[in-house]
């Protein structure tokens, strides 16, 4: 292990974890991913070559954290807590760093002896009887979990009985517990060979607050003795998982002792609270027990795993688990002078767990731990009071510790419906991402569990959680206005709920009543939308038919509609595979594909019949033999608006147009969109129009074709020099704007929004971003408009003239070229994202990261890393997939605020003129492979490199400080030895054009001119043929 690398990586990992805790509240508490999500994000096999820590941490952020349920979130109230703390984390680090396997005393004496001492400390804090301390026959041991602890003592008890009753008596052994005991006992019985019919699960109910009744136990034991069976094991509980029930230990212990049973007490959760004197009463009677366990990670700020087990008779355990092969024998063990913990557990190997418990006890002290537990119990009291004050909820069991069991009350005494409603509430709350709770069943009732124990939880988190629960419950208890349509239903709404909402009489409903449809139209559907972040399993009153959902924008819109609980109907034509991917955006049945014919009005009515929202995304940027601009962009929108008007139950109609739509636009598509807007507003004055600018995203029709073209041909044509201005926008922001309009109070109805990105670009600017992402030096061919039109014209001319479909344009069609002759910007007084309370993303980072797929050296080619402080090392760039491809990087060496740059490639080092400010930069010399290159390099200078693997670059600063880059760009490490010097690796790209590349570009331009000439000639020929045909037909 490299100590310096450990120091550097350790610092960075601690920073990463600290940042995670600092931002933990920004994550949804319960992971929102779907099963199998990670399989598609990670490669099928392990990497052949090392990757950098930055790459791994990037994947943790992007791929792992979305799949994490955040147990340390202050809004985690599910199950029981798994505490974490600085002391526990440091102890875990120390244990991992030492990496000892202390299965026996001789294997690591400190690991064994510290465990003995620390468990004695805890036993004294719990005021356990002296029989459980190490000075007598008893003692403590740290297990991995309570399940392991219970299994260990059950096997010890089993073997103890069988030694006297004989091995054939195994089938007669009987185990006793209440039905509230953890499922770990059932597993232990299965592993220990206890017959299932000999496991007595005794019913506990509300009469004892779900504690085991001694008389039931005595009755069961008596019946088994009469049947000739052997009662041998009893498990009592202090703080059951479902409700924190506490069994009467003293009474149970007497029964166990009188029948020679092993009595084990499981206090995995509540045992922690018993270090507080006021809660010690709950383990009164533990002196009658043979063993006792609790989980320190559930309340004592000790990271998982750390389950503590004490036994009165350690020899009963060691006789059951002792195994001493020759290779483990040693003098200390054979002389019985030491404890070998391998004989106290199932496995041989064991971790140095006592370190973290020792550090927690030392760094915090017993009083701090007691205060920590009391604070969580206090917060539970606050939540219990909030629940008790709400008539729609009941507290099911008296709260003892920091768990509150509650549920929504039955509305009509129907217990089955009440259980179902509580499960709906559970899923709605958890799908919101704002908190996470769990459930259980008590006497057949579905009960919600609110368990407080996360270290970061404060009173504000408890009150905010209750607010979310109440909001979701209010919705479920009678405020659901529109139900999800079921197959075969003819109406999308519940008539009674709609009538109560709008105050109309029985006959005033349905599509025939204009007064009714008007009342819907003026209110919008904001009142139906779920509040909060929603979730795929949540339910809203919105039933949206989204025309054009199989297109680019549709995927993102359907995803957001489904997340807020909407039913989404997806009309499609063509293959049934077209909308299949959209079904994954929602729960089963939430996204419903419906085949339709856009030219058939009855078909349109059918897919709109169940909707109360219609969104039209249909549009085409180029014409085909079957669909013209007018038919797709204008007449289709008009037809949908008229059908929606006739429907009468459509609350919202949203038409998606395009930025630049105008009757005077040079683009036919934009003119058709403008006509569509006018037609929609004429039919539905309350409609909303969205005018998005050119949309950027994973499947966009601008950056993807550009990058593909560059990857194929090595250059990009710039129409008209690429100087017109426009405001491209991230597609996710456009979808968010549509959803925001649906969620409002109707204020967006009858209005037009222009949705442009935050920055103004030219095509040249956008192309620069594209080239930067694909790690290519920009290479352009500027095409004047006349030449570009001449090249694109023949396709538009022939589209309806040939008897077969033409391929779609590679980059631009004639109509798009016409649109590029003018700027397309958001108007000064237009309504924008800001009017919808949204801030659009800038086109950098994630919105354009999809372009990395077009890098010739692979997606990881040219990743950026930094070395930023003295003595730190950082991995350099990965070698490209094709080593023959030369590439280069810029290194910026900074001293204070001064800066200088140099460029490296496999075969030469270049200075780039003004990049070098001169000697005042503080760089005295640059040395490559022992050859002095010079203090200041203004003009390019060739430098021989002996070999790729042996290249070394030494940068001398002030003549006595050195930064070393070994192995040039191939898997090298960078070390800075001066705290004032910083080496920044800026970027990696393919080489600049050399002479051969310039010749190649000239040939490309000649070829383009020839193609243009051919297209013009072809166009003239087709025009002549068309005229001759008309003349012939007239004759």
For the domain covering 1-35+49-72, report its CATH number.
1.20.1340.10
Residue 950 has pLDDT above 60, yes or no: no
Higher pLDDT, 820 or 961: 820
pLDDT digits (tens, 9 = 90+) for 11-42: 999 999 999 998 898 888 998 888 888 888 88
Residue 920 has pLDDT above 70, yes or no: no
DSSP β-bridge partners for residue 303: none
Q: Over range 918-933, report the average pLDDT.
A: 34
Residue 273 has pLDDT above 90, yes or no: yes
Residue 872 has pLDDT above 80, yes or no: no
Calculate the dihedral angle through the C-alpha atoms of 646, 649, 651, 653, rounding to the nearest 10 degrees. -30
Query: Which stretch of 441-455, 843-857, 859-873 has the lowest confidence by average pLDDT?
Result: 859-873
* Distance (Å, whole) CA 901 – CA 894: 9
Report the 10 Å Cβ neighbour count for 208: 16
Query: Which stretch of 517-526, 551-560, 959-968 has the lowest confidence by average pLDDT?
Result: 959-968
Q: Over range 172-188, report the average pLDDT.
A: 92
Residue 179 has pLDDT above 50, yes or no: yes
pLDDT digits (tens, 9 = 90+) for 633-658: 898 999 999 999 988 788 899 999 99
pLDDT at 904: 34
Confidence of residue 1024 (pLDDT cuts 50, 70, 90): low
Higher pLDDT, 590 or 741: 741
Confidence of residue 1018 (pLDDT cuts 50, 70, 90): low
CATH for the 367-476 domain, from 3.90.1150.10, 3.30.70.141, 3.40.30.10, 3.40.50.12780: 3.90.1150.10
Q: Over range 829-838, report the average pLDDT.
A: 93
Residue 676 has pLDDT above 90, yes or no: yes
Residue 329 has pLDDT above 90, yes or no: no
Higher pLDDT, 533 or 880: 533
Residue 869 has pLDDT above 80, yes or no: no
pLDDT at 438: 93
Phi, psi of 262 (to 5 degrees): -80, 125
pLDDT at 641: 93
Q: Over range 911-926, report the average pLDDT.
A: 33
Residue 212 has pLDDT above 50, yes or no: yes
Calculate the dihedral angle through the C-alpha atoms of 799, 802, 803, 806, rounding to the nearest 10 degrees. -50
Token pair for residue 541?
A: 């009153």
Confidence of residue 547 (pLDDT cuts 50, 70, 90): very high
pLDDT at 534: 43
Task: Tell how far CA 59 is from the center of its chain.
Answer: 12
Domain boundaries, given as residue ranges, for the chain: 1-35+49-72, 140-325, 367-476, 514-846, 866-989
All residues at 6 or more sequence positions from 161 whose CB lies less than 8 Å from its CB, including other chains: 169, 173, 230, 232
DSSP state of 533: S
Query: Which stretch of 460-474, 739-753, 876-890 has the lowest confidence by average pLDDT?
Result: 876-890
Domain 140-325 has CATH 3.40.50.2300: no
Average pLDDT, the chain: 77
Higher pLDDT, 85 or 995: 85
Q: Does a cis peptide bond (omega within 30 degrees of 0) precede residue 305?
A: yes
Residue 520 has pLDDT above 80, yes or no: no
Which CATH class for the 514-846 domain?
Answer: alpha beta
Contact in structure between 634 and 683 (CB atoms under 8 Å): no
pLDDT digits (tens, 9 = 90+) for 370-412: 999 999 999 999 999 999 888 888 899 999 999 999 998 876 6
pTM of the full predicted structure? 0.52
């Amino acid at each position: 292990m490299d100590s310096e690398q450990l120091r550097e990586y350790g610092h960075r990992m601690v920073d990463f974890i600290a940042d995670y805790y600092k931002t933990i509240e920004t994550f949804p508490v319960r992971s929102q991913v779907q099963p199998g999500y990670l399989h598609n994000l990670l490669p099928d096999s392990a990497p052949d070559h090392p990757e950098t820590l930055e790459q791994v941490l990037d994947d943790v952020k992007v791929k792992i954290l979305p799949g994490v349920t955040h147990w340390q979130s202050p809004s985690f109230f599910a199950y029981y807590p798994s505490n974490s703390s600085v002391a526990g984390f440091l102890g875990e680090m120390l244990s991992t760093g030492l990496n000892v396997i202390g299965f026996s005393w001789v294997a690591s004496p400190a690991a064994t002896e510290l465990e003995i001492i620390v468990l004695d400390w805890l036993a004294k804090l719990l005021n356990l009887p002296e029989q459980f301390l190490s000075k007598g026959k008893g003692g403590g041991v740290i297990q991995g979990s309570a399940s392991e602890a219970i299994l260990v003592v059950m096997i010890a008890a089993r073997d103890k009985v069988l030694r006297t009753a004989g091995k054939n008596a195994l089938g007669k052994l009987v185990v006793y517990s209440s039905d509230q005991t953890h499922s770990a006992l059932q597993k232990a019985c299965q592993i220990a060979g206890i017959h299932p019919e000999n496991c007595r699960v005794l019913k506990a109910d509300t009469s004892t607050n779900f504690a085991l009744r001694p008389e039931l136990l005595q009755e069961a034991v008596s019946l088994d003795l009469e049947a000739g069976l052997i009662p041998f094991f009893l498990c009592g509980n202090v703080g059951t998982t479902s409700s924190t029930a506490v069994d009467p230990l003293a009474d149970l212990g007497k029964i166990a002792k009188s029948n020679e049973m092993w009595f084990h007490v499981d206090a995995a959760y509540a045992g922690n609270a018993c270090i507080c004197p006021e809660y010690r009463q709950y383990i009164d009677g533990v002196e009658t027990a043979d063993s006792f366990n609790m989980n320190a990670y559930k309340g004592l700020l000790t990271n998982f795993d750390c389950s503590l087990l004490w036994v009165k008779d350690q020899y009963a355990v060691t006789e059951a688990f002792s195994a001493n092969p020759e290779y483990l024998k040693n003098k200390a063990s054979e002389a019985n002078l030491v404890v070998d913990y391998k004989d106290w557990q199932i496995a041989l190997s064991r971790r140095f767990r006592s370190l973290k418990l020792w550090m927690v006890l030392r760094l915090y002290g017993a009083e701090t731990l007691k205060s920590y537990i009391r604070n969580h119990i206090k917060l539970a009291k606050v939540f219990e009071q909030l629940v008790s004050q709400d008539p729609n909820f009941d507290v099911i069991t008296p709260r003892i510790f920091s768990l509150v069991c509650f549920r929504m009350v039955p509305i009509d005494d129907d217990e089955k419906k009440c259980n179902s409603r509580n499960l709906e509430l559970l899923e709605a709350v958890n799908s919101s991402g704002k908190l996470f709770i769990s459930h259980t069943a008590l006497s057949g009732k579905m009960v919600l569990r609110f368990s407080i124990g996360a270290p970061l939880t404060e009173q504000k988190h408890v009150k905010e959680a209750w607010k979310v629960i109440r909001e979701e419950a209010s919705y479920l208890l009678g405020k659901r206005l529109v139900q999800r349509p079921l197959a075969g239903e003819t109406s999308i709404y519940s008539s009674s709920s709609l009538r109560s909402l709008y105050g109309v009489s029985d006959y005033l409903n349905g599509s025939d009543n204009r007064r009714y449809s008007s009342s819907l139209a003026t209110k919008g559907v904001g009142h139906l939308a779920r509040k909060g972040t929603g979730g795929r399993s949540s339910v809203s009153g919105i039933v949206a038919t989204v025309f054009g959902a199989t297109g680019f924008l549709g995927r993102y819109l359907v995803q957001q509609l489904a997340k807020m609980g909407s039913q989404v109907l997806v009309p499609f034509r063509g293959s049934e595979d077209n909308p299949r991917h959209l079904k994954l955006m929602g729960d089963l049945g939430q996204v419903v594909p419906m085949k339709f014919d856009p030219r058939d009005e009855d078909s349109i009515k059918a897919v709109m019949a169940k909707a109360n929202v219609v969104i039209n995304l249909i549009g085409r940027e180029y014409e085909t033999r079957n669909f013209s601009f007018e038919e797709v962009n204008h007449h289709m929108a008009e037809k949908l608006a008229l059908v929606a008007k006739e429907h009468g139950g459509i609350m919202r109609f949203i038409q998606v147009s395009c930025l630049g739509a105008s009757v005077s636009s040079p683009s036919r598509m934009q003119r058709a969109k403008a006509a569509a807007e006018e037609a929609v507003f004429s039919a539905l004055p309350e409609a909303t129009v969205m005018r998005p600018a050119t949309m950027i995203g994973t499947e966009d029709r601008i950056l993807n074709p550009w990058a593909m073209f560059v990857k194929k041909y090595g250059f990009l044509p710039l129409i008209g020099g690429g100087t017109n201005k426009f405001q491209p926008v991230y597609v996710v922001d456009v979808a968010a704007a549509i959803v925001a309009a649906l969620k409002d109070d109707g204020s967006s109805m009858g209005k037009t929004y222009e949705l442009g990105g935050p920055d103004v670009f030219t095509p040249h600017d956008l192309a620069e971003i594209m080239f930067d992402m694909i790690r290519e030096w920009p290479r352009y061919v500027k095409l004047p408009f006349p030449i570009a039109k001449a090249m694109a014209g023949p396709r538009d001319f022939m589209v309806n003239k040939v008897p077969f479909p033409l391929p779609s344009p590679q980059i631009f069609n004639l109509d798009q070229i016409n649109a590029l002759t003018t700027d397309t910007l958001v108007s000064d007084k237009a309504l924008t994202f800001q009017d919808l309370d949204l801030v659009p993303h800038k086109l950098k980072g994630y919105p354009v990261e999809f372009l990395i797929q077009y890098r010739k050296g692979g997606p990881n080619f040219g990743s950026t890393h930094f070395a930023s402080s003295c003595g730190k090392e950082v991995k350099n760039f990965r070698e490209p997939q094709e080593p023959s491809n030369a590439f280069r990087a810029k290194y910026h060496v900074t001293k204070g605020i001064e800066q200088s740059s140099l460029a490296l490639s496999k075969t030469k080092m270049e200075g780039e003129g003004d990049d070098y400010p001169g000697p005042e930069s503080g760089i005295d010399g640059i040395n490559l492979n022992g050859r002095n290159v010079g203090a200041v390099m203004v003009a390019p200078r060739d430098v021989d490199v002996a070999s790729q693997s042996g290249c070394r670059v030494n940068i001398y600063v002030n003549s006595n400080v050195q930064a070393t880059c070994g192995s040039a760009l191939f898997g090298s490490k960078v070390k800075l030895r001066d705290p004032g010097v910083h080496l920044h690796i800026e970027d990696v790209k393919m080489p600049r054009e050399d002479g051969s590349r310039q010749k190649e570009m000239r040939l490309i331009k000649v070829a383009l001119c020839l193609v243009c000439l051919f297209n013009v000639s072809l166009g003239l020929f087709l025009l002549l043929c068309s005229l001759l045909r008309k003349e012939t037909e007239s004759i």
